[in-house]
Amino acid sequence: MTVDLTHKLLSVENLTVSAGSDQLVHGISFEIFRGERVGLIGESGSGKSLTCLSIIGLLDGGLSAEGRIMFHHIPQEPVSPEAETHAHNLLSADENKLSGIRGNRLSMVFQEPMTALNPLMKVGDQLSEVIRLHRPKTKDLKAEVVQLLSSVQIPNPVHTATVYPHQMSGGQRQRIMLAMAMANGPDLLLADEPTTALDVTVQKRVLNLMAEQVESAGSSLLFITHDLGVVSEVCDRVIIMRHGRIVESGPMERVFTAPEHPYTRSLLAASSLETHPGTQRLVTLESASADEAGTQESFEPTSAPPPRTATERHQPRVEHLTMTSGGEAPVFNRVDDPVISVRDLTRTYGKPRLFGRNNPVQALRGVSFDVALGQRFGIVGESGCGKSTLLRLLTALDEPTTGSIEVSGSSIVGRPERQLRWLRESMQLVFQDPMGSLDPRMNVTEIIAEPMHRASRAERRFRVDELLEQVGLPAGSAEKYPHEFSGGQRQRIAIARALVTRPKILIADEAVSALDVSVRAQVLNLLDDLVDEYQLTLVFVSHDLNVVRHTCDVVAVMNGGRVIECGPADAVMESPHHPYTAELVAAIPRLREGAS
């Protein structure tokens, strides 16, 4: 279906959302036409989700929306002249009216597929409920549910209707959510970050499916996301939001190729990991706090610092190897004098018990690789590929079933904790979740200086101040607590904490995955500087191939508990040998051709 610019479907007029006296969305207005697919883009705190929840009338109790959200009736064929003027203001409609519209003409897919379905109700029943609710006269509910399930490409739909959500994968659950939202052929589908929690290959399939479903039902789509790549796969027009205001909107091609607003330009640059020519540093926004006042001039990318001195790091040549099917797993990235050396590592979970079945899970099935001194070693893989297990073994938080791990020439397998103190000092971790990985009851000084048992007060203070400066946090941060910082700042604290022991190896586990793109660029730049300054060997684990490519020299791709391909990051990305790597590379959502 083509976009019908003569028929407005939804017009948001001067929408304001506030929590008490605190205004979060400042009088925004936009329209969606019939069959149009609009992307609403913004970073966290931009008000994009609040806008979406205002439309469907499900804002949390403490929030209030003002303005008008007109939902226009689709004229029946043939078009009657008076039908055009018929519209409801969703903000002033009563609960009766709204519940008749929700799930029927206006439906929504949420971000988190793991928790958005009722865990105690069979999938088929949850689907039939939404049909029965709005079309009580439907005769063969069961057949319709099966039909819906197969339309979202769920294998074996008759059986699937009788299982519970916890028996399905995240991707499957999101298909169920999509089926539920599309069950009554809505006029408008709201999708709030529907694929953010999914792996890239799954994301690709769900996005295609969503586009297909919206197309065939002739629905309009409002797609809320922070990911510009994802938007460019599904939308015709984009609206860019920041701090509760719309900064730019227009046809996607135009906005992505010729952005007018400096923020849009920076966002595009940060999303595609654009670097300053010459320095190889990522383009970032000015630090977010500086432009809190909304001055537009500060959106300009930061001026480039002098070129990196250690660009020509001495690196051993890396062989590009692929796992051969059926054959012995090769030793990937073999070097003469490795810092980390892993051989034939396996880890099997599950032990026989007195009663009950024993279902051993092979999380790692024979992994061998080296990491050279000063190397930046990336590990990429989707959920369940074994990368978390590998990390737990590398950091001696868990014991392998078989195989060996040597760090700086000493084995770390089968050692009691007291013999691993040197490892705890020389190897440090930065975790994914900047909110959960810092103790909320310790202040920044206590967090960073915790390992400095024997140091005097003055020494601790000196080192903490030094680190805070290195990670770019204001000097006054030392006495503050984690909740007083933003996500990006907390990740800086986590990095400072990791560096306090002057480790030789830094392991970053999805360290930038939870950050907004603009913050991500800043933290990546910071990591880059610190790796040089501290002469670190970096093991960088991520699901995001682009980030790994930018950050790492060597990348190992994991799948099904094995490393299946390993080589120089650029070579692996540009000419993947293994079919799985090729699929992974192809699934990355990209800004449309010419956009970046």
Partner 1 sequence: MLLNVIRRLGVFALTVFVASVVVFFLLGILPGDPARAQLGLQASEEQVQALRQQLGVDRPLPVRYFEWITGFFTGDMGVSYASRTPVAPQVLDALQVTLLLVVGGIGVAVLIALPLGILAAVRHHRPDGTLFSALSQLGISIPNFLAGLLLIAVFSVALGWLPSGGWQPPVAGVDFLRHIALPALALGLVNGAILARYTRAAVLEVMREDFMRTARAKGLKPGAALVRHGLRNALVPVVTVTSIEFANLIIGAVVIETVFVIPGLGSTLIRAVANRDLIMIQSIVMCVVVLVLLVNLLVDLLRPVIDPRLRSAS
- Cβ of residue 108: shortest distance to partner 1, in angstroms? 5
Residues within window 122-151 making contact with partner 1, judged by CB under 8 A: 129-130, 133-134
Residue 19 within binding range of partner 1, rule CB under 8 A: no
Q: Which of 2, 309, 355, 453 binds partner 1 (CB under 8 A)?
A: 355
* Contact window for partner 1 (CB under 8 A) among 56-64, 211-219, 337-345, 565-573: 56-64
* DSSP per-residue letters across 494-559: HHHHHHTT--SEEEEESTTTTS-HHHHHHHHHHHHHHHHHTT-EEEEEES-HHHHHHH-SEEEEEE
Residue 112 within binding range of partner 1, rule CB under 8 A: yes
Residue 167 within binding range of partner 1, rule CB under 8 A: yes
How many positions of this chain bind partner 1 (CB under 8 A)?
35
Return d(Cα 577, Cα 320) in angstroms, integer: 9
Residue 173: what residue type?
R
- Cβ of residue 118: shortest distance to partner 1, in angstroms? 5
* Contact window for partner 1 (CB under 8 A) among 34-42, 176-184, 274-282, 365-373: 176-184
- Cβ of residue 58: shortest distance to partner 1, in angstroms? 6
Return d(Cα 192, Cα 279) in angstroms, integer: 37
Binding mask 525-564 for partner 1 (x = CB under 8 A): ----------------------------------------
Q: Sort strands 505-509 and 537-542 into parallel, antiparallel or unpaired.
A: parallel
Residue 334: what residue type?
R
579 backbone dihedrals φ, ψ, rounded to 5°? -60, -35
Closest to partner 1 by CB, 107 vs 395, is: 107
Binding mask 356-395 for partner 1 (x = CB under 8 A): xx--------------------------------------
Residue 177 within binding range of partner 1, rule CB under 8 A: yes
Residue 116 within binding range of partner 1, rule CB under 8 A: yes
- Cβ of residue 388: shortest distance to partner 1, in angstroms? 21
Q: What's the half-sphere exposure (Cβ side, CA atoms, 13 Å) at 580?
A: 18
Residue 191 within binding range of partner 1, rule CB under 8 A: no
CA distances from 198 to 44, 113, 163, 229 (A): 18, 9, 21, 14
Q: Which of 21, 22, 85, 120 binds partner 1 (CB under 8 A)?
A: 120
Return d(Cα 463, Cα 446) in angstroms, integer: 12
Return d(Cα 339, Cα 559) in angstroms, integer: 24
Q: Whose CA is closest to 41, among 258, 259, 228?
A: 228
Strand order in the sheet with 338-349: 361-372, 338-349, 402-407, 410-411
Query: CB count, 10 Å around CB of 220?
Result: 27
Closest to partner 1 by CB, 197 vs 478, is: 197
Return d(Cα 318, Cα 30) in angstroms, integer: 52
* DSSP per-residue letters across 227-272: -HHHHHHH-SEEEEEETTEEEEEEEHHHHHHS--SHHHHHHHHHHT
Q: Angle, to 10 degrees, between the axis of helix 123-134 and the axis of helix 141-151? A: 110
Return d(Cα 383, Cα 220) in angstroms, integer: 32
Return d(Cα 50, Cα 567) in angstroms, integer: 44
Helix (H) or strand (E) segment spanning residue 312: none
Closest to partner 1 by CB, 293 vs 355, is: 355
Residue 110 within binding range of partner 1, rule CB under 8 A: yes
Binding mask 314-353 for partner 1 (x = CB under 8 A): ----------------------------------------
Residue 100 within binding range of partner 1, rule CB under 8 A: yes
Closest to partner 1 by CB, 26 vs 122, is: 122
End-to-end CA distance of the chain: 28
* Contact window for partner 1 (CB under 8 A) among 33-41, 102-110, 216-224, 495-503: 102-110
Q: Which of 142, 159, 166, 502 binds partner 1 (CB under 8 A)?
A: 166
395 with 586: CB under 8 angstroms?
Answer: no
- Cβ of residue 27: shortest distance to partner 1, in angstroms? 25
- Cβ of residue 104: shortest distance to partner 1, in angstroms? 6
- Cβ of residue 116: shortest distance to partner 1, in angstroms? 5
CA distances from 212 to 34, 208, 233, 289 (A): 16, 6, 12, 41
Q: Which of 121, 158, 310, 586 binds partner 1 (CB under 8 A)?
A: 121
Residue 10 within binding range of partner 1, rule CB under 8 A: no
Interface residues toward partner 1, by CB under 8 A: 56, 58, 61, 95-96, 99-104, 107-108, 110, 112, 115-121, 129-130, 133-134, 164, 166-167, 177, 180-181, 355-357
